[in-house]
Amino acid sequence: MMISLNEANQIFKEACELNKGDWIEHSEYVANLARKIAIKSGLNSEKAYILGLLHDIGRRNGIVQARHAIEGYKYMMDKCEEIARICLTHTFQYKDVMGIYDTWDCSKEEVEMVKDYLEHITYDDYDKLIQFCDAVSLAKGYCIAEQKMVSSVLKFGFKETTIAKWQSILLLKSYWDSKVSGNVYDYFNE
């Protein structure tokens, strides 16, 4: 069962006090865009906002790379399984645990756990929504998908999984354009 907006805001506020950084504003942008797209596509806009707000909640534990997905999953499992799921799925626009921009800063067993988890689920519209919103949200606002793709490669380097990740992000863009019967980039300025 989804937590309330008040509970989500409290969890987010506590996390912000534990680890200040760009992830805070980024999460707020993800949440706001998710809400806007949810309204236009018939999804629950409050749920979309909460999922977007807490998708990076694993960053509450400090400066980490891909580990934040696992930390968020563990932290949210006893609070809300749907949010825990988003903590893992938001990073993987396609189901390859190596398909990340940054690096795995955790054990092989933890990476295997994520791999197994992803293999046994089917992405729903909330997974896809947060994956897309995450891919176009920065700490200072929104950008087209290609801009964030390039900035991520400049920051983390080009990997053998980069092209597949880019293709998946562009497919998500097309998917959401179709769902809203327009261009989702138009919601950047609403």
User: Helix (H, G, I), strand (E, B), or coil: what is residue 36?
Assistant: helix
Of residues 24, 33, 89, 93, the one with CA closest to residue 60: 24
Give the number of C-alpha atoms closer than 13 A to the C-alpha of residue 97, restricted to the C-beta side: 20
- Which carries the bigger pLDDT value, residue 98 or residue 126? 126
Residues contacting residue 8 through CB under 8 Å, at least 6 positions apart: 49, 50, 53, 54
The confidence score (pLDDT) of residue 180 equals: 98
Q: Percent of the chain at pLDDT above 70?
A: 100
Would you place residue 137 in the very low, low, confident or very high pLDDT band (cuts 50, 70, 90)? very high
**What span, in angstroms and rounded, lies between the C-alpha atoms of 113 and 136?**
27
Would you place residue 176 in the very low, low, confident or very high pLDDT band (cuts 50, 70, 90)? very high
- Which carries the bigger pLDDT value, residue 162 or residue 182? 182
Domain boundaries, the chain: 5-189
The confidence score (pLDDT) of residue 9 equals: 99
Q: Is the pLDDT of residue 187 over 80?
A: yes
Instruction: Please count the other Cβ atoms lying within 10 Å of the Cβ belonging to residue 135.
Output: 24
The confidence score (pLDDT) of residue 156 equals: 85
**Residue 105, CA distances (Å) to 27, 91, 102, 154 in order:** 21, 14, 9, 19
The answer to whether the beta carbons of residues 139 and 28 sit under 8 Å apart is no
Is 5-189 a domain of CATH 1.10.3470? Answer: no
Q: Is the pLDDT of residue 53 over 80?
A: yes
The confidence score (pLDDT) of residue 101 equals: 75
Q: DSSP characters for 68-81? A: HHHHHHHHHHTT-H
Task: State mean pLDDT over 112-123.
Answer: 97
Would you place residue 155 in the very low, low, confident or very high pLDDT band (cuts 50, 70, 90)? confident
**pLDDT (tens digit, 9 = 90+) per residue, 11-44?**
999 999 999 999 999 999 999 999 999 999 999 9
The confidence score (pLDDT) of residue 167 equals: 95
The confidence score (pLDDT) of residue 190 equals: 77
User: Helix (H, G, I), strand (E, B), or coil: what is residue 148?
Assistant: helix
